[in-house]
Amino acid sequence: MARQFKDEIIEIRRDIHQHPEIGFEVQRTAKIAANACLKLGLKVTEGVGRTGVVADLIIDPKANTIALRADMDALPMQEEGDCEYKSTVPGAAHMCGHDAHTAMLIGAAKILTSLKDQLKCNVRFVFQPNEENFPGGAPGMIEDGVLKDVGMIFGLHVWPEIASKSLGLCVGPAMAKPDEFKIYITGKGGHAAEPHLAIDPIIVGAQIITQLQSIVSRNVSPFDNAVLSFTEFHSGSTHNVIPEKAFLHGTIRTFRPEVQIYMRETLQSRSRAIAESFGAKLEIEYIEGYPVTFNHDDALSVSREVAQEIFGKDQVIMPASPTMGGEDFGYYSQEIPACFAFLGIRNEEKGICRMCHDPRFDVDEDCFVEGMSYHAGVALSFK
């Protein structure tokens, strides 16, 4: 069934790919999704969560509802590959595959409309903006009621680490809580020839980075997954002046709340202790990231059964390795039973093996058949 929509969906995907839109500014893409759903006779609501689209396929107002979600936004970067459907917008590109997500969800809407009489539940198609930028597009969608009366929600992400025609399903956590922090150190500037009259913020920063390695290496259980990355260090402007200030920027990524709380608090207390021991001041701005994207047992069972049928038992990788990357799908999985799958798109023969956010990222469009079918399948098996 999916096969007959393949060319059409590829065309939609390429159209979106050529016209990438960033953040909440996904009006054109949203209109494509909305129009396609309207054409199918679905009940379409636009402007959900600012620029999102919700399309309902209702078989019985009293029946249970399942939600299928796709994100629509592109990245603020330049595409460097040479595909024929290359981005036409300078500084914007679908290097994370959301174009494919949107197109496949439109495909699923087409399939399910065709098979409407086999459905045992209502289906809500959710097209969401602004997945890439914290605090994400999901909170606004939820606030606007997208999960109201919904029993379960499913999503997927194209995944370059998994071969095309395979699907990965994580047991429990699939994607991490990606927190951000900014550390502002204030010492006392001075002449580089007189360190004893200054309070050197670079020494403080270096010690913080060096000492805090022990959080992951000693204080977090070897059976927990945790990352603390310092990704920026900026201080000073010339060779003969000890600067007054230093700035550190970074991320903490965790799965379990206990670990997240421990790391957040230890980052703060230990950084401050180090700075103060040197006589420096330290301010931390801590920005809580998306919640963990978590696969609930019941939703996972539905996914596995459908996936094994569509991809074949050996092509379903479970448990798949989770990732310390983040996803705002986590907000949905906080609210109701949810499952987020990794759809294989790697195809080395076609030269498709770049990671997400790589400027030459692409997807193997042959996987669209399985992607659409999987979306449709979970809806068909849900009651």
Residue labelled with tokens 């959301």:
98
Nearer to a second copy, 183 or 378 (CB): 183
DSSP assignment, residue 355? P
- CA 173 – CA 195 distance, rounded (Å): 48
Shortest distance in whole angstroms from residue 100 CB to a second copy = 20
Give the per-residue contact string, 95-134, with a second copy (x = CB under 8 A; - = no). ----------------------------------------
Q: Give the binding range for a second copy (CB under 8 A) out of 52-60, 80-88, 139-147, 249-257.
A: 249-257
Q: Give the binding range for a second copy (CB under 8 A) out of 38-46, 149-157, 320-328, 373-381.
A: 320-328
Q: Give the binding range for a second copy (CB under 8 A) out of 68-76, 90-98, 226-234, 339-347.
A: 226-234
Q: Which residues are catalytic?
A: 290, 365
- CA 152 – CA 379 distance, rounded (Å): 10
Q: β-strands 150-163, 65-71: how paired?
A: parallel
Shortest distance in whole angstroms from residue 250 CB to a second copy = 6
- With CB under 8 A as the contact rule, the residue among 23, 140, 205, 337 that binds a second copy is 205
Say if CB 10 and CB 368 are below 8 A apart: yes
Ordered DSSP codes for 173-192: EEE-EEEEEEEEEE-B-EET
Nearer to a second copy, 59 or 215 (CB): 215
For residue 345, what are its two tokens? 């798109």
- CA 144 – CA 13 distance, rounded (Å): 27
**Is the peptide bond preceding residue 135 cis, with omega within 30 degrees of 0?**
yes
Considering only residues 252 to 291 of the shown chain, the ones binding a second copy according to CB under 8 A are 253, 269-270, 273-274, 276-278
- With CB under 8 A as the contact rule, the residue among 193, 313, 349, 383 that binds a second copy is 193
Helix (H, G, I), strand (E, B) or coil at 383: coil
Shortest distance in whole angstroms from residue 293 CB to a second copy = 13
- Nearest CA-CA partner of 53 in 76, 71, 75: 71
Instruction: Based on the shown chain and the rule CB under 8 A, indicate whether residue 249 belongs to the binding site for a second copy.
Output: yes
Q: Give the binding range for a second copy (CB under 8 A) out of 53-61, 68-76, 219-227, 362-370.
A: 219-227
DSSP assignment, residue 346? E
* DSSP H or E segment with residue 27: helix 27-39
Say if CB 136 and CB 321 are below 8 A apart: no
* Total number of residues that touch a second copy (CB under 8 A): 70
Give the per-residue contact string, 325-354, with a second copy (x = CB under 8 A; - = no). xx----------------------------
Say if CB 107 and CB 125 are below 8 A apart: no
Residues that bind a second copy in the complex, under the rule CB under 8 A: 176, 178, 180-182, 191-196, 200, 202-203, 205-207, 209-211, 213-223, 225-243, 246, 249-251, 253, 269-270, 273-274, 276-278, 321-326, 355, 357
